[in-house]
Amino acid sequence: MAPRAAERALRDYNRNPKVNSANGGMQKRDWYATAILQLARQMGAFQPMNKRYVLMFLGWLTVAVLSSQIRSEASSDQRETPSIGSLLAKQRFSGLLKGDVHFANLGTLNCGSQVISILFYEWYESPPHGAAIHASQRVVLMRGQTYLGAYVVDDRPTISDNKIRFPYPAQDGNVITCETGGIPAKVFLNRDIVPLAK
């Protein structure tokens, strides 16, 4: 009797939609706990051997359901948070996004009222044995999930004092800073003019 009741409780649990507790409802986990308590009350009429069997079954059922919910919530989080590669692909990032691709979060840059996330992008070709390796590196600028542009660079920078700093002499151009109007359309780096590109 108890296993059948527990199976019915599990079916009802899986059909029960999530309800925002702030709106007077209760979360699935709370609903499931209530169902377990109702089943436990029914155990009063069972013999001791049956009680042990029901307790073991309910323990297994609890672990199975909570594990399933955790996996479901983790999967939902992954769906709701797209990868940086997929975000850039949808916003016409011109760099290669297949193969040996790496992104590193360098930090943020305050541009007036905007907070810009700075990423370092690296792509490496997988050439035949003995062939030269081609690579590409960029400083990628994001505002939230919006791609703002990128600078093609030769070296990985760091961020300090609200500046993107490169390992070059100052006279050769070694920093990227925010202009009053926002992100600069071009910068002087390592004796070269580098435009902000897609």
- pLDDT, tens digit, 9 for 90 and up, residues 48-107: 556 566 667 666 666 555 555 545 544 444 444 569 999 999 999 999 998 899 999 999
Find all residues with CB under 8 Å of 116, minimum gap 6, and list them: 108, 109, 110, 141, 142, 143, 148, 178, 183
Q: How buried is residue 44: exposed, middle or buried, by Cβ count under 10 Å (0-12/13-18/19+)?
A: exposed
The residue extents of the domains of the chain are: 2-80, 84-195
25 in Cβ contact with 19 (< 8 Å):
yes
- The per-residue pLDDT for range 134-151, each reduced to its tens digit, is 899 999 999 999 999 999
**Phi, psi for 107 (deg, rounded to 5):** 140, -155
- Which range among 11-15, 37-41, 73-77 shows the weakest confidence by mean pLDDT? 73-77
Q: For strands 135-143 and 114-124, give the pairing.
A: antiparallel
CA dist list (Å): 135 to 1, 22, 27, 43, 73: 66, 52, 50, 68, 38
pTM over 0.85: no
